Amino acid sequence: MEEMHGLKDIKRNEFFMSGHGACPGCGVAIAIKNVMRILGPDATVYVPASCAVVFSAQYPTSSFRTPYFFTAFENTGAVTTGIRAAYRRRGKKSLVVGIAGDGGTFDIGLQALSSALDRNEDIVYVCVDNEAFMNTGIQRSSSTPFGAWTTTSPVGSKVQGKRTFKKDLMKIVEAHDPPYAATLSIAHFNDFVRKVDKAKRMSGFRFLHILTPCVPGWKYESAMSMEIAKLAVETGMWTLFEYEEGESRTTYKPKQMLPVTEYLKLQGRFRHMGDDDIKTLQRWLCDKWYRNYGHEIEEPVCAIFKQEEMQLHHDKDDLHVF
Amino acid sequence: MVVKVISGDHAVAWGARLARVEVVPAFPITPQTLIVEQIAEFVNNGEMDADFIPVESEHSVMSVAVGASAGGVRTFTATASQGLALMHEMLYAAPQIRLPVVMANANRSLGAAAGIWLEHNDSMPERESGWLQCYVENNQEALDMTLQAFRLAEDHRVMLPVMICLDGFVLSHTVERVDIPDQAAVDGFLPKYVPVNVLDPDDPIVMNPICPPEYATEMRYQLDRAIDSAKIAIKEIDIDFSKRFGRSYGDLLDLYRMDGAEYAIVAIGTAATTSRLVVDRLRAEGKKAGLIRIRFMRPFPKGELIEAVSGLKALGVFDRSVSFNSYGPVFTEVRNALYGSVLPVTDHIAGLGGRDLTPEILSKVFQVVEDSMEKTPERDVYWHDLRGDM
C-alpha cells in the first residue's frame, strides 16, 4: 500500500457513511470520517460513551461499515486491549481502533488509557477533543480551556467560566513513551493525513489527539468549524506536533502568533471574558508558545508579556537578572 | 487423571487451564488472588497457552474480558467483593451482548465495617445483572463447574456469562483432595468455542449499538427468557459430565436426605457441608430432617424447589448475606417461589463477615424450623450467634 502524503492520496471510499446524526459542522464527525477513510476497511472500531456513540450507531442502523463495538465510558484502553488479544489469537489482521472523546480520555478513561499505554497495546487510540462533555450537554472536562463557559462552569456573578487551564494530555501520554503520539487538526489536512497514515503503518500503542470544534458547545456558526480549527493553531491554542522514538517534533509552525482574541471572539463560550481573564489566558499561551516553538521567535503578542514579566519580577538583585 | 491436594482457588485455575481459555485479564484481590497468580504461573511456565493481561482495575478486567469475548475467544477471569462491585457497570455488558465470559468470584464481605472474610453480600446483588450464578460447595466442584460453566455459557441456546461463586477462604484458601481430569477428556467434553456473533473485519457487524425505547423492552425480554432456558442446558451438561468423569452435582438443586423429610433447610455454598453433618445427627436421633442446596441462584430453580418441598411441614432458609431492613436474599427468592403455599418458611442469618458457622449454630437453625412445624414462628427472620443483647 502506497504511503499517503496528503489530501490527494485519500480514497473516497467511505467507512463512516453520511446519514449519521451529528450536528452540521461537527468536528468529531469530520475527524472520524477522515480517520476511517485513511485507516481503510481493516479497522475494528470501539467507541465509548460519547457524542460519537449516539450519532454513529443506533439500533438497527449504523454509519460504520467496519466492525463496531460499544460498552461503556471509561474503558477504551481496556476493551480495545481485549479485542486486540482476541484478534491476535485468531490470527486476524486488523487495526483495532478506539475513538474516545476528551471526557472519556482526559478524565474518566485516563486510568484505562495509562494502563494500555503501559502495556504498549497494539492499538490506535483516537481522542476526539471537543473540550467538554458535549454528549451530556456541555459540561466542563479537564480539557476545557481557561475561561470557557460550560453548564458546570457557568458565568456567574462571582465566578465566570472555568478557572483552571486545559490539561496537557500529550505530556501524560509522552510520559509512557509510546511508539507514536501526535496532535492533529481537522483544518490542517495534509498534516492530518500523514499522521493517521503513519499511525496506521506502525505497531504498538499509537495515540492521535484531534481538536474537534463543537458547534453547540463552543457556540459558533456551523460553517465556521474549519476557520476556528485553523485559528486554534495560529493563536497557539492548539499545536501540531508528533512524538516518536522519545523525541517531540513540531509538524507545523504558524508564521506569527495571533492574539488569542482572534480565536475567542468567534465563539460564544468565551464571550463573557474580561480583559484580566484574556490576559491570563494569553500569558499561559505565550509560555506554551515559547515551549513549543522556541525562544528565537520574538512575536509581538508575547513580547508584551515578557516586558511585563520583567517589570513584575525584577527585585533589583543583580543575581536575578533575566 | 491426577490427584492433587490444592486450594479452591487453585482448583479454579486448573479448571481454566483445562478449559484452554485464551484470554485472562487479571487484577488481584483477596481472596481471589491465588487464582490469577496460579494462572500467571501456568502461562509463564508454558503450561497454558493464554494471553494473561494484567490491568489496572476490575472495571478494566471486565472490559478486556468483554472485548476479548466479542473478538471471538474463550475468556476467563476472577474477582471478589470490592472488585466485583467495581465491575458492576461492566457486568451488565456481557449478558445483554450475549458474551459467554466465565468468572470465578471468591465470596467476601463488601464495604465498610470492612473485612476480607466470607459473606455472600458481594455476589447476591449481581443476581440482577443477567449473569448465570452458581455456588459451589467444595474444591472439586469448583474445578468441575469451571469446565461445566464454559459448556453452559457457550451453548448456542444460552450464550450468557457464568459466575462461579466459591466461599472465600473456606474454599479459596483451604486445600482438599481434587481429581484433575485428563486434558484429552476435557477436550472431548468442552470443544473449541464457536461464537454466534463476532467482531471481524471480513464480516463486519455492529455489536451493542444504542438501543432506542422501541426495541429495548424486547431486548430485555429475550435475555430474561435465555436465562430461563439455561435450565435445560444445565441438566444436560451435568448428565454428560457425569458420564465422562463420574461426578454429578445434581441439578439446579442438590438434595440431601430429602426422602421422607418433614422439615429441611435451604443452604448454599459451604454452609451446606456443615448442614449435612447436622442433618445426619438429627436423622440418627430419628428426626426427619433434610437439606436442599441451591446450586444456581440464576436461573433460579423455582419449579424444582416447589417439587422439593412438597411433603415438608416446615422450611428454613440459611442466608450468609442480608438485604438490609428486609430479608436475606436467598429467603426472598425462596419464599417468592413458594408464594401461595401454606408451608411456614423462616429466614436464618449467620456467619456474616467471616464469623464461623458451626454445627451448633445450624443445630439451632434446625431447631427453630422443627418448632415451626407445630407452632407459628415468632418472626420471619432469625439472626443467630449475635453477641450480647442486641
> Reduced to 3 states, what is the DSSP secondary structure of residue B266?
strand
**Residues A160, A165, A166, A172, CA torsion sign:** negative
- Using a 10 angstrom Cβ sphere, with 0-12 exposed, 13-18 middle and 19 or more buried, the burial of residue B374 is exposed
Do residues B333 and B289 touch, judged by C-beta distance below 8 A? Answer: no
Distance, in Å, from the CA atom of B56 to the CA atom of B53, rounded to the nearest integer, reads: 10
**pLDDT value, residue A313:** 52
3-state secondary structure of B345: strand
Give percent of chain B above pLDDT 70: 99
B255 close to A (CB below 8 A)? no
Strand, helix or coil for residue B162 = strand
Considering chain B, what is the average pLDDT of its residues? 97
B353 at the A interface (CB within 8 A)? no
Pairing of strands A180-185, A240-244: antiparallel
**CA–CA dist B124, A317 (Å, integer):** 70
Q: What number of other Cβ atoms are within 10 A of residue A257's Cβ? A: 21
Task: State the smallest CA–CA distance between residue B72 and chain A in angstroms.
Answer: 6
- Among B64, B68, B206, whose Cβ lies nearest the Cβ of A64? B206
Interface contact flag, A54 B75, Cβ < 8 Å:
no
Instruction: Report how far residue B47's alpha carbon sits from residue B214's, in angstroms, rounded to the nearest whole number.
Output: 49
Question: Quick check: B201 contacting A, CB < 8 Å?
Answer: yes
Instruction: Identify the pLDDT of residue A320.
Output: 55
**B204·A114 Cβ contact <8 A:** no
Chain B environment of A86 (Cβ under 8 Å): 22-23, 67-73, 199
- Beta bridge partners, A249, equal A242
Return d(Cα B53, Cα B27) in angstroms, integer: 9
**A272 is written with which cell numbers?**
463573557
pLDDT value, residue A319: 60
Q: What was the pLDDT predicted at B114?
A: 92
- As a whole number of angstroms, the distance between CA A191 and CA B42 comes to 47
Exposed, middle or buried: residue B156 (CB in 10 Å: 0-12, 13-18, 19+)? Answer: exposed
Vertex B125 angle, CA A72 and B166, to 5°:
105
How far apart, in Å, are the Cα atoms of A56 and each of A47, A236, B63?
Answer: 9, 31, 21
pLDDT by residue (tens digit) across B193-245? Answer: 999 999 999 999 999 999 999 999 999 999 999 999 999 999 999 999 999 99
Chain A residue with minimum CA distance to B56: A115
Q: What does A62-102 look like in DSSP terms, one character per residue? A: -SBSS-EE---SS-HHHHHHHHHHHHHHHT---EEEEEEES
Rounded Cα distance between B313 and B306, Å, is: 13
- Interface membership of B71 toward A (CB under 8 Å): yes
In chain B, what residues touch A62 (CB-CB under 8 Å)?
206, 209
List, in order, residues 6 or more apart from B99 with CB less than 8 Å away.
B66, B69, B70, B75, B93, B159, B161
- Which residue in A has a C-alpha nearest to residue B194's C-alpha? A90
Q: Which three cell numbers stand for residue B103?
A: 468468572
The alpha carbon of residue B44 is apart from the nearest alpha carbon of chain A, in Å, by: 17
Question: How many beta carbons lie within 10 A of that of residue B216, not counting itself?
Answer: 12
Q: What percent of chain B has pLDDT over 90?
A: 98
ipTM of the complex: 0.96
The three-state secondary structure class of B291 is: strand
Give the global pTM.
0.95
A307 vs B129, more confident? B129
CA distance A117 to chain B (A): 11
* Exposure string over A81-111, b if 16+ CB within 10 A, otherwise e: bbbbbbbbbeebebbbbbbbbbbbbbbbbbb
pLDDT of residue A302: 79
pLDDT at A322: 45
Question: What are the Cα distances from residue B299, in Å, to B162, B254, B309?
Answer: 11, 14, 18
Say how far residue B148 (Cα) sits from the centre of its chain: 12
**B1 pLDDT tier (thresholds 50, 70, 90):** confident
Q: Would the CB atoms of A44 and B201 count as touching at under 8 Å?
A: yes
Sign of CA dihedral B209, B211, B215, B219: positive
DSSP A58: B
Q: How many CB pairs under 8 A join A and B?
A: 156
Give the Cα separation of B380 and B170 in Å (integer): 28
Q: Write out pLDDT tens, residues B265-274.
A: 999 999 999 9
Q: pLDDT, tens digit, for every residue of B146-177?
A: 999 999 999 999 999 999 999 999 999 999 99
Quickly list H helices, A248-315: 261-264, 275-293, 300-313
> Please, which residues 32-51 of chain B have a Cβ atom closer than 8 Å to chain A?
51
What value does the mean pLDDT take over residues B279-285? 98
- List, for residues B339-386, the tens digit of each pLDDT value: 999 999 999 999 999 999 999 999 999 999 999 999 999 999 999 999
CA distance A15 to A43: 9
pLDDT at residue number A318: 60
Reduce the DSSP state of residue B120 to 3 states and report it: coil
Beta bridge partners of A180: A206, A244
Asked whether residue B29 carries a pLDDT value surpassing 90, the answer given is yes
Handedness of CA B317, B168, B282, B177 (dihedral sign): positive
Encoded amino acid at A35, one letter: V
| Confidence bin at B250 (pLDDT 50/70/90) | confident
Q: What is the pLDDT along chain A (322 residues), one digit of tens a residue?
A: 788 988 888 888 899 999 999 999 999 999 999 999 999 999 999 999 999 999 999 999 999 999 999 999 999 999 999 999 999 999 999 999 999 999 999 999 999 999 999 999 999 999 999 999 999 999 999 999 999 999 999 999 999 999 999 999 999 999 999 999 999 999 999 999 999 999 999 999 999 999 999 999 999 999 999 999 999 999 999 999 999 999 999 999 998 899 999 999 999 999 999 999 999 999 999 989 988 887 666 667 877 776 666 555 555 666 654 4
Cα torsion angle, B19, B140, B266, B351, sign = negative
Look at B199 and A86 and tell me if their CB atoms are within 8 Å. Answer: yes
